[in-house]
Amino acid sequence: MKQPKKLTMKQKKFLTKREYDCSLYSLIKEDKTSYIFFNKKTNEKLRLEK
């Protein structure tokens, strides 16, 4: 697994708009169609379509 990165403002807004708490998530990967986030609290991956 890649090392999680800090979120950019755009990604924070993306999560907040979908009612996720952006303070719990880090970015693992971004591609053309989706984001893959890592939940720091539960150690789970979250994939969201753009």
Structural domain includes residue 2: no
Structural domain includes residue 33: yes
> What is the spatial distance between Cα 41 and Cα 10, in angstroms, rounded to a whole number?
22
pTM of the model: 0.87
pLDDT score, position 45: 96
Number of domains in the chain: 1
Element counts in the chain: helices (H) and strands (E):
1, 3
For the residues 15-39, what does the mean pLDDT come to? Answer: 96
> pLDDT at residue 3 above 90?
no
| Domain coverage including residue 15 | 9-49
What value does the mean pLDDT of the chain take? 94
Tokens encoding 44: 């789970």
Residue 30 phi, psi dihedral angles, 5° rounding: -135, 130
Structural domain includes residue 4: no
